[in-house]
A and B are shown apart, each in its own frame.
Chain A
Amino acid sequence: MRITKSFGVIAIAIFLSTGIARLFPIRSTALEFAYAATVTPNVTVGPQYDTTHVYVAPEDFDRLVASLVTTFGGTTSKQGVFTVTPTPSSTMSQLVLTPVGTLSVFGFKTPVPYPFGVERTGYLVTDLDAAIQAARTAGADVLVTSFNDPIGRDAIIQWPGGVNTQLYWHTTAPSYKALQTIPENRVYVSADRVAAFVDSFLAFSHGNVTADDAHAPGVEIGRPSDTYRRIRIQSNFGKLTVLVTDGHLPYPYGHEMMGYEVSDLAATLAKAKAAGVQVLVPPYTADQRTSALVQFPGGYIAEIHSITGKPN
């Protein structure tokens, strides 16, 4: 009798706790993200090895590379023609190493095999197989399983929310100078998938949320009279800003993949214009930044900003 009673009490306790937990789902907060990380190996190397993938027409290739160096400074690797996909293709390839971020420029001489061109960034990892496994454990899909390129191995993964990232590993470990300023990867996701995206990315990157503003100034997404949610994440892959929107974005918002931090925006824009860069959104100030959106020759769209006050 006593056993039955205590069994009943336990059963009720279980029902109650399950019921209450489901009746009052915990709201997504930065705090929740911080505790949601799954334990996976840390495969990060450093933000200077996180390249933005820029695909341009071969005829625009040299103009783009020159305009990037004129605007931001830095150096380039030697230009070459390679196969960088698992199936036959041929592309011009060059690395642009600027003090504000690294870019990997591709100019395909053949059609681009699917799904290449949709990924935004390439992240160097310490161990490709471990990184793929870690990404899977963290909730990412593996869109392109591992394959060899002339200097190493690669794979493409997709985070919840539809963000594609290439993971790469070099046979001979590369060595690039540390960056002067760390650029931010700008990721637009829906309110439906933001929690899953952030949980997944934090688990993989071993990063943390440095700011989560539910009412960020809408001018940052071209909607001056509205607000939107903005989450800033920092990890050894660099900075990542999550822009949570309803998808009602005026052009060109959402097309920009990276935000580059420079010390003097006006001076940078002057150099950019001289290099044939078009200013799509002239400078505006919000959240202690002055920002502009620009389009480089060949179509690459980027955000550039200077910090005007104390960073968050």
Chain B
Amino acid sequence: MNCTRYLFALVLLVFSLATLSRLSWTQTTESPDSASTVAVGAQYHTTHVYVSPSDVDAFVASFLGTFGGKSTKQVIARVTPTPSKTTSQLLQTPAAAVRTHRGFTERSTLIM
């Protein structure tokens, strides 16, 4: 009798430890909680286009000429965690939602 109670206590202990640490066999299968989604909206999903600096303006003109829309002002920025330099602008068109656009300057300038 004592033994049974001891075992029962052990089982309980294991289950509570397991549940606390969210082990898979203690969890029911659930679809992802809708409140926890990190998506914002399709218009914020940018296609990253890398072209050589000499082609930037021609690309921008051709893309806007094809789909319409507008471009943000072109800036020169660093968009990587390590040193580099690129031109950057955002193209917002009605058809292909949003496009960012980058023209990295020549590679040799990236080493500092």
Binding site for B on A (CB under 8 A): 5, 8-9, 11-12, 15-16, 18-19, 22-23, 222, 247-252, 280-281
Contact = CB atoms under 8 A, between A and B. Distances in A.
A282 to B, nearest CB: 11
B29 interface: no
10 closest Cβ pairs, A-B complex = A248-B81, A250-B82, A251-B110, A15-B14, A19-B18, A22-B23, A8-B7, A19-B14, A12-B10, A248-B82
Nearest to A281: B111
Nearest to B14: A15
A5 B82 contact: no
Contacts of A15: 11, 14-15, 18
Contacts of A248: 81-82
17 contacts: A5-B7, A8-B7, A9-B7, A12-B14, A15-B11, A15-B14, A15-B15, A15-B18, A19-B17, A22-B24, A23-B23, A248-B81, A248-B82, A249-B82, A250-B111, A251-B82, A251-B83
Contacts of B7: 5, 8-9, 12
A12 B82 CA distance: 53
A251 B107 CA distance: 8
Interface of B: 3-4, 7, 10-11, 14-15, 17-18, 21, 23-25, 81-84, 107, 110-112
Contacts of B81: 247-248
B103 to A, nearest CB: 16
Nearest to B104: A251
B21 A251 contact: no
A281 B110 CA distance: 12
Nearest to B23: A22
B82 A16 contact: no
A5 B14 contact: no
B11 A12 contact: yes
Contacts of A249: 82
Contact of B84 (A5, A8, A11, A251): A251
A222 B83 CA distance: 11
Nearest to A16: B14
A251 B110 CA distance: 6
A133 B59 CA distance: 44
A280 B111 contact: yes
A251 B17 CA distance: 47
Nearest to A11: B11
A270 to B, nearest CB: 21
Contacts of A281: 111
Nearest to B15: A15
Nearest to A22: B23
Nearest to A301: B107
Contacts of A280: 111
B3 A18 contact: no
A309 B108 CA distance: 32
A227 B81 CA distance: 16
Nearest to A18: B25
Nearest to B21: A23
A216 B110 CA distance: 24
Contacts of A18: 23, 25
Contacts of B25: 18
Contacts of A19: 14, 17-18, 23
Contacts of A222: 82
Given A12-B14, A15-B11, A15-B14, A22 B83 contact: no
Contacts of A247: 81
A19 B24 CA distance: 10
Contacts of B111: 250-252, 280-281
A1 to B, nearest CB: 10
Nearest to B25: A18
Nearest to A278: B108
A277 B102 CA distance: 28
A250 B83 contact: yes
Given A12-B11, A248-B81, A5 B17 contact: no
